Structures are given as structure tokens and as C-alpha cells.
Amino acid sequence: MPDRAAGLLTAVDCPPRLAAHLRAVHDVAHRLVDRLERDHPSVALDREAVLFGAATHDIGKVLHPGELTGLGSAHEEAGRGLLLDHGVAPRLARFAATHAAWTDPGVVLEDLLVSLADKVWKGRRVADLEDLVVARLAAATGRAAWEEFAALDDLVTALGEDADARLRFQASFPARP
């Protein structure tokens, strides 16, 4: 996890289970980015942004604790504001708001990767999201969409194999401090 993200989680008194979730999503994002950089060296990708975004995307749940164990989206915009209030650049704070809004205008590959990591960490597959990632990669590489799909499908499937262990890891921490 990036040092700056870890420091922010401490500064906002992040509950242990939320910190575990953010670490799990960050770890999946790290594996996604590593693979994309290896297989697509010509694709411009802001590695730092993806990893920071994955490590802080749900930080707004500190302000909306009911969303730690229940549904809700108030944490998204609140998280962006919290990060901005702590001096995080808008280009990095945006992930708190965009991680659940992958179809919004202006969403770029980095936003999609944070969203994908936030699904894949627990073994969830979201076809619409994966299709957007495939389309972005195909456009950037000039490869056929089916080739990009096959490679992403293999990667997401492999990442999903560790989902139960990540879920156990997260559940081993208390939801509240």
C-alpha cells in the first residue's frame, strides 16, 4: 500500500476491516497493473494513480459508518472531499467518487481498473465493466477486442481464485474500532 495512503488511513482513524478491504483491493489492483504493464507496454497507464485510488477508494466510509456493513453510496463523494481536505490532488482523490461510476463521462482506464479491482478482489465479475476495460485496451493497442477479452478473462479468473482468502482476511478484522 502506498505510504501516503497508509498515512491517510491512520489520520482519519480508519476502522480495521475497512483498512483490510482497502489493502485487498490495492493488492488486486497491483496485480492488474503489473500484468497490463507487462503485456501492454505501449499503453499509457498512471500506475501511481491506480494504486493510490485502489488503496483509498472507500475512505469516505469513515464518514458514513453505516456503509461499512450496509449498502449506500454517500461515501463516494464524501471520500473525494475527505481526500481533498487532506491535501490529496484531485487526480488522485477522484477514485473515491468514480469507483462505482464507471459509465460516467470522463472515466478513463485508470478509473476502470480501480473499479475492476474493487469487484475482482471478492471474485465478482461485472460484464459491463470488463467490456469497458476490453474496449479501452483494444483501442489503445489496436488488437482485436476478442484477444483483449481472452487475456483479461484469464487474468480476472486467476485473481478470483484467491477471493476466498481475501474475504477471510478482511473478515478477520473488526468492522468498528
**What's the rounded Cα separation, in Å, for the pair 129 and 125?**
8
Alpha helices, DSSP H, located in the chain? 3-11, 16-39, 47-56, 74-85, 90-93, 95-98, 109-120, 127-141, 145-160, 163-171
**Percentage of the chain exceeding pLDDT 90:** 85
**What's the rounded Cα separation, in Å, for the pair 76 and 59?**
8
What would the mean pLDDT of 9-20 be, rounded to a whole number?
95
pLDDT at 78 over 80: yes
What would the mean pLDDT of 97-118 be, rounded to a whole number?
93
**What's the rounded Cα separation, in Å, for the pair 150 and 145?**
9
For 31-54, how does the pLDDT look when each residue is reduced to its tens digit (9 = 90+)? 999 999 999 999 999 999 999 999
89 falls in which pLDDT band (50, 70, 90)? very high
Selected residue with higher pLDDT from 122 and 72: 122
For 2-11, how does the pLDDT look when each residue is reduced to its tens digit (9 = 90+)? 999 999 999 9
**What's the rounded Cα separation, in Å, for the pair 164 and 130?**
21
- Mean pLDDT (the chain, rounded): 94
What would the mean pLDDT of 79-102 be, rounded to a whole number?
94
**Percentage of the chain exceeding pLDDT 70:** 100
66 falls in which pLDDT band (50, 70, 90)? confident
pLDDT of residue 61: 95
pLDDT of residue 71: 85
pLDDT at 132 over 90: yes
pLDDT at 176 over 80: no
Question: Residue 85 is placed in which grid cell?
Answer: 481536505
pLDDT of residue 73: 85
pLDDT of residue 167: 94
